[in-house]
Amino acid sequence: MNRKHIMKPITLMMLLASTAVSAEWQALPDVAPAPKDNPTTEAKVKLGKMLFMDPRFSSTGTVSCNSCHNVMEGGDDSRTFSMGVHGKTGGRNAPTVWNSAFHSVQFWDGRADLLEDQAKGPVTNPVEMGVSEIEQAMDKVRSVPGYKPYFDKAFGQDSMTVVNAAKAVAAFERTLITPNSPYDKYVKGDKKAMNAQQVRGMETFAAVGCVSCHSGAAFNGPKMEFGQGFYAKFPTFADNTYVKEYDLATDKGREEVTGSKADANMFRVPTLRNITDTAPYFHNGSVNNLSESVRIMAKLQLNKTLSEEEVKDIVAFLGALTGEYPEITMPRLPATSGYSLVADK
């Protein structure tokens, strides 16, 4: 089994115990990092956006990447569980695609190292896009003549492959970043960018220990090499009513990937960027209120009961993490001439 992604629970506990009141506050970079074998180019981004928006490659012709990760909104779909082909729903909440380029690994359980790997997963998932083999979806792409010039420009001749399609989608997703939030402006020196309550919430966020996991520029943990995941056990303190009320311990998280009991209930730490726009919350989408989520996290992860004033201040601070969404225009997709890719046979 591949164990390189694992952050053991004891390590998390050590972090929780050693959290200082102060924190290293970092602004979100204006450009997302890219792997050496897939530098971001305008041609890749343009192609990737088209593929991201095109539902014709799902088994029913009804589900695209954007169906569950709507970039015209918060990068999710506002549902507890996303709906895929034939009205099927999965068992985990769709995380936002905004700022996903800053994740240490992809998916809640870290089963994909890079965005390039993640882009392939939903295509063959029977609940999501429902294609039996990923080459079947790629054959549909190849059958649309209008896609070839975009692949040629992005990758060269004879480049219509699954690998390159995934690289293009990943390149597009790396443009989906939201810098210049009030928080970013504040840490860059504009002390009027956040109001008094938000500043107080920022201090409380650090003081109670939230930064143990939600650190770094994207508030999803320390900067790590591609594919080296940062995980936390959730719930850490399970002896309380929240766990049963919101069914927070049934999903075993990373254990389902590795098969190791040591990974039970371990999840990749999610970003808190734009969190006001991405309800419902948690891996199972069970909580539809940000204030309640803050209370739950304090109790389950830090074994602390926050006052209502502390909750309000932290929620105010989280609101300051919503950045500037770049303008997204819908692409014109290449059409087929005289036939349909998705017509019932």
Kindly tell me the sign of the dihedral angle through the C-alpha atoms of 16, 183, 278, 111: negative
Catalytic residue among 116, 128, 173, 310: 128
Q: In b/e form, how buried is each residue of 177-207, taking b as 16+ CB within 10 angstroms?
A: bbbebbbbbbbeeeeebbeebbbbbbbbbbe
Alpha carbon distance 171, 161 (integer Å) = 15
What DSSP string runs through 128-197? Answer: TT--SSHHHHHHHHHT-GGGHHHHHHHH-TT--SHHHHHHHHHHHHTT------HHHHHHTT-TTSS-HH
Which helix H or strand E contains 268, and what residues bound it? strand 266-268
DSSP string, 219-260: TSSS---TT---EEESSSS--SHHHHHTT-SSS-BTHHHH--
Contact 313, 137 (CB under 8 A): no
Residue 307, helix vs strand vs coil? coil
Structure tokens at 295: 């209370």
Please say whether the beta carbons of 215 and 24 come within 8 A: yes
Residue 308 bears catalytic tag: no
User: Residue 86: helix, strand or coil by DSSP?
Assistant: helix
Asked if residues 174 and 34 have their Cβ atoms less than 8 Å apart, the reply is: yes
Q: Would you say 91 and 128 are in contact if contact means Cβ atoms under 8 Å apart?
A: no
- Residue holding tokens 């480049």? 159
Cα 118 from Cα 232, distance rounded (Å)? 20
**Catalytic residue set:** 128
